[in-house]
Amino acid sequence: MANYIDGNRQFRTLAGAPGCIRLSKILVASQSYHHGTTPPCLTWSFVTDRKGETCVFFLAQTYQRQKPSAPSLDFHYEGAAILQSGSHINLQGVRIAPTLTSRYSFVGSPDRRLPLPFSPANHAANYRHRARRVKCDEGRPVCKRCCIGGRTCEYQLRWQSPTDGTAALRQRELRPASVAPLRETEPPDWDYMQSIRYCKSDVVLTYAKLETVREPPFNSGQVIPASFTCLVLANRMANAAKSRSRLIRLEELAFSGLWTQYYRYLQKHLAVVNKLMQSDEKMDKSIAIFSLYALLCLDCSAGGTMWQAHLNGSLAYVQHIGGIKALQALPRGTARFRYRKLTSCHHSRAIFFNTTSPANRQVLGYFSYSDEELWSVLCDQEISGDTPCPVILLMGIVQINRLRFQVATKATAKEDFNTGVLEVFDTIKSFDLHSWAKGRSFANEAITLSLGHVFLAAVRLYGILTLLQPKAISGFHVASYPSISTAGAHTPEELRVREAQELVKLLRQLWPAMKYIPALQWPLIVVGVGVAGGLTADQKFIDHCLYSIWHYPLNDSNIFRCLEKLRVIWGSGMTGWEDCFDEPIPC
């Protein structure tokens, strides 16, 4: 039998007389043999020790090389087999010719070379040679015979035990994240640089097709890198939602990396906001207002659910620094971000967002303001292209929201509620549309007049849906006032249908002429509830308009949330405002 000792092959036979020595077949398989060397020849010798008891044979294997098809090596193996004692004998220089009795016994002349016994069928040959029973040198990736003939050489796949190299590979794949290789180091502010590149190549070019736009002052120190990066990530998620006609959910694995990056930079933005809010410098307080408003914009763009918390926090910070008067005493900001306009947008958003929230879940930060203080904040709202609502009508929305909250919390008597409703509709009726339309710079006179008429009808319909419907006011009864009633409509349901039809007619006339269509989103939401249970054609028109506004460049995801709510109420048969907006939804 064959053993390996110190890397050499040795042959050891059982004890017996010299004439009874029998050798088993020797199978030699080596790397050099696969690469084109000829089978080895064996040189046999036979000796006995001094006592004549131990028979030993000496084996020398010598590989005779041909021209190999691949690099090969010469090997020389020597070994000793002990028949009786089992001890090794130094055979250096001993060459005694034995006598052979059979093919595998020691027969013939000294140093006679015998070929290697014929090996069993080799299944390592390629498919072609195995099928034709042709000898194959098993060269890989192509054997010599196939290479000369220009034929395809295909080998059978060999089974590799899982305990081999695949096990180590699988272990590397299953390593926990704690021992995984670290992320490659990125240059400082790499994500910020990529955000600037994305803004210049995509956002600015897209928005420039609609109106003149100025690039943010990246080199002036007025842009917070973490805030801007977070805003770009939110814009990317909004674009992904628009391309799929649905909102992107947090649990979607395809966007897990984007959400991770977004919340990473949102955390950095919050750290900047906290640091600014703790400062006593007036400029830092002014920048803190910008940063708090940016939090609201980020949540609306990404389709988040923290917008109410951001609004409550920002309005609480205004009270912390001294209220409206202290707010107006802060520095006005930069040429890029006008402070008064930003403050107006901040409060007007809180007012409009309360309209699409349940009556008992309102943002209460501005409820403590007097009418004069609130008017001074909202006076710049009329020049806003997002919601060009006249201030007097916006103040009417504030009064309606306060009455809704008082009814929901039982914080008012029925007489006071009736008086408040009367005052609201009297204020709406006293609005002079033509005087307001003169001298407005955000549109031409015809469109400005139409916009004012649309918002007037929308505010009146919003008051009817929230203050006159029995289900909305929960037990409070409002009589039919002359300022509310129109020709042929005296009950709340008749008023709802009549005002909704009038508003749909105005919107159909104005829609083709509007260039900046997001300005109509709030009137469309109001009339969407008004046409519930009405004509399907009106519902389809409103659906088309809101869907187009959602796909408008740089528009956030708020409008699509409202559209989803409207689609639900249109299919349910309900007509109440609280039935539609049963949870806080930004608009």
What CATH number has the domain bearing residue 131? 4.10.240.10
Q: How many helices (H) and strands (E) does the chain have?
A: 23, 6
- Residue 340: CB atoms within 10 A of its CB come to 15
Q: Which residue has the higher pLDDT, 320 or 221?
A: 320
Q: Which residue has the higher pLDDT, 194 or 503?
A: 503
| Number of structural domains in the chain | 3
Across 559-570, average pLDDT: 92
Taking the model in full, what pTM does it have?
A: 0.65
- Indicate if 481 and 383 belong to the same structural domain: yes
- Indicate if 488 and 372 belong to the same structural domain: yes
Q: Which stretch of 106-115, 189-198, 266-275, 498-507 has the lowest confidence by average pLDDT?
A: 106-115
Residue 136 belongs to domain spanning: 121-160
Residue 247: inside a domain: no
- Indicate if 156 and 30 belong to the same structural domain: no
φ, ψ (nearest 5 deg) of residue 403: -65, -40
- Chain position carrying tokens 């020597």: 78
Residue 188: inside a domain: no
Residue 168: inside a domain: no
- Indicate if 442 and 392 belong to the same structural domain: yes
Residue 177: inside a domain: no
Residue 374: inside a domain: yes
Q: Which stretch of 374-378, 472-476, 544-548 has the lowest confidence by average pLDDT?
A: 472-476
Reply yes or no on whether the pLDDT at 420 is more than 70. yes
Residue 83: inside a domain: yes
123-135: pLDDT as tens digits: 567 767 777 777 7
Instruction: Write the CA distances from 501 to 504, 535, 575, integer angstroms.
Output: 5, 10, 15
Give the model's pLDDT for residue 507.
95
Give the model's pLDDT for residue 575.
86
Give the model's pLDDT for residue 543.
95
The percentage of residues in the chain with a pLDDT greater than 70, rounded to a whole number, is: 63
Residue 115: helix, strand or coil by DSSP?
strand
Half-sphere exposure of 512 (CA within 13 A, CB side): 3
Nearest to 406 by CA among 368, 364, 353, 360: 360
Residue 166: inside a domain: no
Residue 225: inside a domain: no
